[in-house]
Amino acid sequence: MKRDITLWILGTFCLLVATVLVAVLIQGTDFFLYRAFAPKREAVRREVFEQSKAYRDGLMQELRSAQIDYAKAQTPQQRQAIRSLVLHDVAGFGDDLPPDLDGFVRAVRAEQIGGAQ
């Protein structure tokens, strides 16, 4: 009877140690599973965010504000600053801009190209 209890306690202890060892192997010091899968998961989250209505509406609002600021700009330096912000914002956006903003972005790109020469 006493031997059975000792074996049961020893077995439980060994199972606990094995569980801890498996957890350390899985997690490691840098949590290698997280390092392997987190970048892919974040890329998917970012793509979903960029396709969201809130992001797209916010970008349209920022572009319309920049369009007004660009028209009001009084110096070439102000226009250049706004131009670089607009081009940075729309760099990965795609081609589904409303016609008025699409024309504005095309004009800004043309000025950027024309000014660089």
- pLDDT score at 117: 45
pLDDT digits 0-9 by tens, 22-77: 877 776 655 666 777 888 889 999 889 888 899 889 989 999 999 999 999 999 89
Give me the phi and psi of 93, to 5 degrees please. Answer: -80, -35
Query: Which candidate, 51, 55, 63, 56, places its Cα nearest to that of 103?
Result: 63
Question: For the chain, which residues make up each domain, given as ranges?
Answer: 1-51, 53-117
Rounded Cα distance, 108 and 56, in Å? 20
Assessment of whether the complete model's pTM goes beyond 0.75:
no
- Percentage of the chain exceeding pLDDT 90: 38
Q: Where are the beta strands (DSSP E) in 4-59?
A: none
Q: Nearest 5°: CA angle at 109, between 92 and 115?
A: 135
- pLDDT score at 63: 92
